[in-house]
Amino acid sequence: MKKLLPLIVLLFTSYRVEAAWFTSMEDAQKAALSTHKLILVDFTAKWCGPCKQMDLNAWNDVQIQTILKDFVTLKIDVDVNQDIAFKYRIRLLPSIFIIDPNGKIIHQFTGYQTASDLKRELIQYSLSTEYLATELIGFYQTQKYNTAIRIAQKYYNYSLLVNNNIKGRIVRVANEYLKDAKDDLKKSDENYLQKKQKLELLVLYELAYRFDFEKLNKKISAIKAEGINELNDYQYWFLKYLSVKNNPEDAIVVETFLKENNLENVIENCNQLYAFYKKSK
């Protein structure tokens, strides 16, 4: 029996497996893409006293270790990785970021955090990104107008699936990808005007997914239907129908038009989004 005691003690002391921290952004991104997780970045430095205290008293907390399993964890030494620190405008340490696999910022906070502070900040971002997987990988492999557009649209839909407390942050990530699409768009591109118009319509999706239908109505009413490229019909009428959903008479007029022009998918998708709005009230 005495011989078994050291073994039993060893089993219990090694039972808790602490989170493994990446030190390479690229490796963390690949891991996040394959495991459908967000990346938690702890910006630190060897000379940062509060960072060391957090390592001892916060990151090693049993409850925090459990939460960290839902993230890909990454430690970035700002002295070793000055380019990354510059990209994220790190001015204070500790700085903690939650980013998606392509590096888009979802949440950030700074300063020394107790275990309870960390739990409060992190728990709501323990999310699966499997819904976004195909589009996230597509953008990671090729950062172009089309891949940026696709992931932005998917993020807008994703915002309906998360807690209302962080919905706005997810919508903002979608907007960041639209900025990437705008940066990639060139006047020399084929179908430049059509792509530019689609981008202008997609920017208005923020109002739709924030359920600000009154403001959306003002914006979309300033755009004439006859000026819409046929490749952008879906985006325009999606926004137009949503903008009048609160007005039954106008909604019937638009709905009739959509049915007559084989745009029933607009009705279906708008009704799905509107159902989320009704549920949120």
Catalytic residues: 48, 51
Strand, coil or helix: what is 274? helix
Q: Is 41 helix (H, G, I), strand (E, B) or coil?
A: strand
Give 178: exposed, middle or buried? Use CB within 10 Å, 0-12, 13-18, 19+.
buried
What are the start-end ranges of the H helices in 22-161? 25-35, 49-57, 62-68, 82-87, 115-122, 133-141, 145-158
Give which of 112, 118, 115 is closest to 48, Cα–Cα.
112
For residue 216, how many other CB atoms are within 10 A of its CB? 23
Residue 84, classified by CB atoms within 10 Å of its CB into exposed (0-12), middle (13-18) or buried (19+), is middle
Cα(6)–Cα(219) distance, integer angstroms:
72
Residue 170 and residue 163: Cα distance in Å, rounded? 10
CB 181 within 8 A of CB 234: no
Among residues 257, 161, 276, 263, the alpha carbon closest in space to that of 211 is found at 276
